[in-house]
Amino acid sequence: MLSYQHLYHAGGPADLHKHSVLCAVLDDLVARYRALSYMETHAGRGLYDLAAAESVKTGEAALGWLAPGAAGRVPAELAGAVLAVNGGDPDGMSYPGSPLVAAHLLRPQDSLHLCELHPQEYAALEKAVAGDERVTLYHQDGYESVIKLSPPLPRRGLVLVDPSYEIKDEYIQVAGVIDRLRRVWPDGAVLLWYPLLPAARHEAMKTALAKTQPDVLVHEYCWTVPEGGSGMYGSGMIALNCPGALPGFSSL
């Protein structure tokens, strides 16, 4: 396992969807609370080169961040995070992963706990966040780590759960992890990303979540129509216990 590499998908339509929602939720939490704990179960490498062969091969970034006018269609905070990792160059080819998007929005008093299991992705993540004293890295399974770390101090904050869904059972596993997480950290907000694929395994995940969580909000974004094959046709985000308004989200 661990064959998934996010470089093939970075800056694509799914990333723009996920990172736009992340920005909206963090923006609200920052305005609401004096200090935050931010955690990621699946952090990835933190910084992606959209000119790399892997990215060019799938063409996903070309449909996402590199598409004409993309900067004007995402929240200003996300556009700002991309500009920051490119040293202010609007034509730069670097794209921030969720850890650097969050680091851009969070303040000096906030803490970031980032888990990544893949050795090469972890090594790259170390470089991407080097020198940021707010960050603690965990080269460990993200599901168990966030539960062990909860409830964190500061008590207010957010967990981003962004699995690679390499195993079919992960859709059901993730629903169980979120139930355990919310029991140990009831104050925490949770964001969960999932792909929309023709096999529709996310529907079982939503059903499992709805059985244990009273407050599931969902937003799904489709960029193409589902076809018979295995291609991803859209991106889903689930929000739990996010106190601010989330336009476009609806209850499960």
Q: Which stretch binds ligand SAM (CB under 6 A): 26-34, 58-66, 71-79, 117-125?
A: 117-125
Residues contacting ligand SAM: total by CB under 6 A: 21
Question: Which stretch of DSSP H or E encloses residue 226?
Answer: none
Nearer to ligand SAM, 120 or 224 (CB): 120
Active-site positions read 162
* Residue with the two structure tokens 């931010």: 38
Sign of CA dihedral 168, 6, 189, 22: negative
Q: Does 104 bind ligand SAM (CB under 6 A)?
A: no
If one asks whether residue 191 binds ligand SAM (CB under 6 A), the answer comes out as: no
CA torsion sign for 140, 141, 147, 153 is positive
- Compute the distance between CA of residue 46 and CA of residue 177 in angstroms, rounded to an integer: 23
Question: Pick from 113, 118, 156, 206: which binds ligand SAM (CB under 6 A)?
Answer: 118
Q: Which CB sits closer to ligand SAM, 134 or 139?
A: 139
Name residues contacting ligand SAM, limited to 24-43 (CB under 6 A): 41-43
With a CB cutoff of 8 Å and minimum separation 6, the contacts of 123 are none
Residue type, 40: E
Interacting residues toward ligand SAM by CB under 6 A: 2, 4, 6, 15, 18, 41-44, 97-98, 115-118, 121, 141-143, 162, 164
